[in-house]
Amino acid sequence: MTDALADTAAHDLYSIPQDLVDFRETIRQIARERIAPRAGEIDREASYPWDIRKLLAEQDILGLPFAERYGGTGTGTLMLQIGVEELARACATSALILMVQELGTLPIQLFASEEQKEKWLPKCASGEWSPAFALSEPEAGSDPAAMRTSAVRDGDEWVINGQKAWITNATVADFYVVFATTDRENRRTSAFIVEKDRGGFDPGQLEHKLGIKGSPTGSPSFTDVRVPAENLIGEEGMGLRIALGTLERTRLGAAAQAVGIAQGAID
Ligand SMILES: Cc1cc2nc3c(=O)[nH]c(=O)nc-3n(C[C@H](O)[C@H](O)[C@H](O)COP(=O)(O)OP(=O)(O)OC[C@H]3O[C@@H](n4cnc5c(N)ncnc54)[C@H](O)[C@@H]3O)c2cc1C
C-alpha cells in the first residue's frame, strides 16, 4: 500500500461521521457557554447541579445512552463517549451525570425484560429520572463476589439487607440497581431495582472528595427492604454477569471523561 493509500485508510478508520461531528459542536457550545461558567461554583459548593441536569435533559444529552425506541437519541456508543468527553472538558461533575445515566441503566438495557425496559428506560432517557448502580461495598470493591448484601425470597417479594459504599448519585437517584447475594453457598448474586422510597432504604452519608465534588458519592444501606419479585433484573443468580457486562461498557466512559478532563486542563 502506498503512503497516500495508508493515510486514507487510517483517516476512514478514525474519522467521525458528519452527523456526530455536528452533534459534538452543539454539545461543545453548550458546555462552553452554559456549563463551564458554573464549573468552579459546583466544585466549591460540592452540591449536585440540578440546573445542569435539567439543561442536559432539555438538550437531549441525557438521551445519548438510549435507543430511540426508549426515547433516546439512538446515536450509539461513539456519540455517547464524545458527549462525555466534551462535558468533562468543561466540568467533570456534569460529565458524570451523563455517565451514570448509562451506568445505572445498562443492567436494564442489557438484561431486563421488555416490560421492565419500557417501565424504567424512557424516563431516564428524558432525564426525568436518574439511576444509581450499587455494586461496591466497604469490603467488596475490586472483588465484587465478596459482597455481603443479601436478598432473600419471601413469597412474591425479595427482602434486601446490607450496606453499599462509593455509590454515585446516592441521595439524588430515583432508583438504585442493587446487587445482592441470593445463594451464599454457591456465591451467586442477583440484581434488583430498588426505588428510593422503599421502607428500610437509607441513602446514607456522602463522601468528601478531592474532585468531581458536585457528584454525590455515598453509602446507601438496606434494612429489610422489600421489593416485588418483578424488580429482579434478568434471572436469579445472574448478578455478576450483569455487573461485569455493565462495567465492561462503562469503562469507555471513564476513559472519555479522563480525556476530557485532561483536555480541559491543557486548554
Ligand atoms: C468517585 C467514585 C465513584 C464511584 N461510584 C461507584 C458507583 O456508582 N457504583 C459502585 O458500585 N461503585 C462505585 N465506586 C467504587 C469503585 O468502583 C471502587 O472504588 C473500585 O471497584 C475499587 O474498589 P476499592 O475502592 O474497594 O479498592 P480495592 O478493591 O481495595 O483496591 C485497592 C487497590 O488494590 C488493587 N487490587 C485489588 N485487588 C487486587 C488483586 N487481587 N491483585 C492486585 N491488585 C489488587 C486495586 O487495583 C487498587 O489499586 C466509586 C468509587 C469512586 C472513588
Q: Where are the domains of the chain?
A: 3-127+247-266, 131-235
Report, as an integer, the average pLDDT of 110-128.
98
Over pLDDT 70: what percentage of the chain? 96
Instruction: Give me ligand 1 centre to Cα 241, in Å.
Output: 18
Residue closest via CA to ligand 1's atom 51 equals 166
Write the residue with the smallest CA distance to atom 53 of ligand 1: 166
Domains 3-127+247-266 and 131-235 share a fold: no
The superfamily in CATH containing domain 131-235 is: Butyryl-CoA Dehydrogenase, subunit A, domain 2 (2.40.110.10)
Residue 222's pLDDT band, with cuts at 50, 70 and 90, is very high
Residue nearest to atom 6 of ligand 1 (CA): 167
In this prediction, residue 115 carries a pLDDT of: 97
Ligand 1 centroid to residue 139 C-alpha, Å: 10
What is the dotted CATH code of the domain comprising 3-127+247-266? 1.10.540.10
> What three-state secondary structure class fits 53?
helix
Give the model's confidence band at 205: pLDDT under 50 very low, under 70 low, under 90 confident, else very high: very high
239 backbone dihedrals φ, ψ, rounded to 5°? -55, -50
What's the pLDDT band for 14 if we cut at 50, 70, 90?
confident
Closest residue to atom 34 of ligand 1, CA basis: 142
pTM for this one? 0.94
> Residue 164 CA: which ligand 1 atom is closest?
11
Residue where the block lists cell 454457591: 186
Compute, in degrees rounded to 10, the torsion defined by CA atoms 220, 103, 66, 262. Answer: 120
